[in-house]
Amino acid sequence: MKRLASYVTGSWIEGEGKQSPLFNPTTEAQIAETSTSGIDFAAALSYARDRGGSALRAMTFAQRGELLRKIAKLIHAKRNEIIEHAIDNGGNTRGDAKFDIDGAAATLAAYADLGEQLGDTKILADGDGIQVGRTARLHGQHIITPRHGVAVHINAFNFPAWGLAEKAATAILAGMPVVSKPATATSLVTYELTRAIIDENIMPDGTLSLICGSAGNMLDFIGGQDVLAFTGSSITAATLRGGAGVVSRSVRINVEADSLNAAVLAPDVSLTSETGQLFVRDVVRDMTQKAGQKCTAIRRVFVPEALAEEFNGALCEELGGMRVGDPRADGVRVGPLATANQLRDVREGIERLAASTESLFGGTGDVTPVGDTGGKGYFVGPVLRKTTNPREAVVHEHEVFGPVSTVCVYNGDPVEAAKLVQLGGGGLVASVYSDDRDYLGAIIPEVASFHGRIYLGSEKVAPQSPGPGTVLPILTHGGPGRAGGGEELGGARGMSFYQQRTALQGDKGIIKRLLD
């Protein structure tokens, strides 16, 4: 039995007492265990602040970027090993595992490139300087510097590689040390990846720590220079927002939570067009990739009434080719859900939808998995529901975090479509499929303030589009309202969470020399 340790205060430490189990979601066999009991979290955070923070702040952006580039290359070199861990502990198909791992490497590489562009400096100017006195001598300039704290990252279960990388890349380039806490149930990938980084001696001492297991009382010790970034449920997010560090010590918190992402088909799109085929591919891929366990997965599909029959048929036909089962079996496109709790929650969510919607495909998700699973595993087949009442409350109020989507028929009007999309209460991404500029011009202003990103599917981008479910490091990831109200990535924008903007006021020559 593999026992996972945490990496804190420069050492690997195995927790004491009762261990939390990790399972293979295909066979339900226990494959590892971990605990954080006995770890001194106050010391862990202090060590990261004092040792890691000092080391990173002494480096330039270019030097920090080189650290990230080395990690990206290491992930590429260890790719096949990490894939095996993702299959064993996450139930990922090889394709799904690659999506997570390659996304991690690409994000690190993108921030490495940004570090190279920012160059050999430790302080950034924010905008142009301004004259604030009677003469140009008295000068004002905003500058950006790293916060003197630690970045605590609490990540979700579904992307154990990418989740680590996207937050750590931004924080480390900004100049803040990281304490990463992956979801315990699927922490094997994060553990093995972090161990490889530490074994290669890539990071300066204290700049990267790992908590494998419960966070215990760690958040009792975060303070005003620290930041907290969380990805997960809105219920947990609400608890974190009410913590003493956030409320009493003004700890910055960034949240990525639930999101009922929408895909809107415009009435100008025909099924035989490239845009129509792109719509079908994107919806099915985002329903089934990672077994639908993606924060950017499409949960609501809006189709004009006149096009509903043919597009619903095309979606069902495409879903019919998605084999569900053991991710190591030939031809399997959809593996199991990650945990027994996920299986329970998804089945309960499907039941809620079934009470108010009709089945288009998959019924309630019952499926006989492909491969030798021994009657075990947390399997749910793709489920596509439909409703002729596009304002059906359950569709817009509850996210089923699995391979489940609902088609809502609407009248084809872009303003009406926007109002329906808004019922989701704010999301990470909305996608609109149209080649009609007037339609796009009408709907985009109405949905933009409800989303962190809008993906426009059209004939001209169809051959090269990665789809709405792919998070790009150079574009903002996050969303308002139900989605948590946070922002991550976005190139240099993402670093602002880890940095302090300060106004300098004084002699122009001194300020210019400081920045040079």
Judge: domain 2-257+487-515, CATH 3.40.605.10. Answer: yes
Closest CA to 297 of 404, 186, 152, 201: 404
Q: What pLDDT score does 373 carry?
A: 86
- Bridge partners (DSSP) of residue 144 are 124, 501
Residues marked active site are found at: 256, 295
Overall average pLDDT of the 107-112 stretch? 98
Closest CA to 255 of 223, 281, 284, 233: 233
Query: Could you give the CA distance from residue 423 to residue 53 in angstroms, rounded to a whole number?
Result: 43
Overall average pLDDT of the 168-180 stretch? 98
**Among 3.65.10.10, 3.40.309.10, 3.30.110.60, 3.30.465.10, what is the CATH number of 261-472?**
3.40.309.10
pLDDT at 515 over 90: no
Q: pLDDT tens, 8-33?
A: 999 999 998 899 999 999 999 999 99
Q: What pLDDT score does 2 carry?
A: 92
Give the max Cα distance, the chain: 82
pLDDT at 300 over 90: yes
Q: What pLDDT score does 249 carry?
A: 92
Q: pLDDT tens, 35-65?
A: 999 999 999 999 999 999 999 999 999 999 9
Q: What pLDDT score does 120 carry?
A: 94
Q: pLDDT tens, 454-470?
A: 999 999 999 998 999 99
Query: Could you give the CA distance from residue 269 to residue 292 in angstroms, rounded to a whole number?
Result: 26
Q: pLDDT tens, 331-375?
A: 999 999 999 999 999 999 999 999 999 999 999 999 999 998 888
Is pLDDT larger for residue 465 or for residue 108?
108
Q: pLDDT tens, 482-514?
A: 999 999 999 999 999 999 999 999 999 999 988
Q: What pLDDT score does 355 carry?
A: 93
Structure token digits, residue 377? 């595993």
Domain boundaries, the chain: 2-257+487-515, 261-472
Overall average pLDDT of the 185-214 stretch? 97
The amino acid sitting at 227 is: V
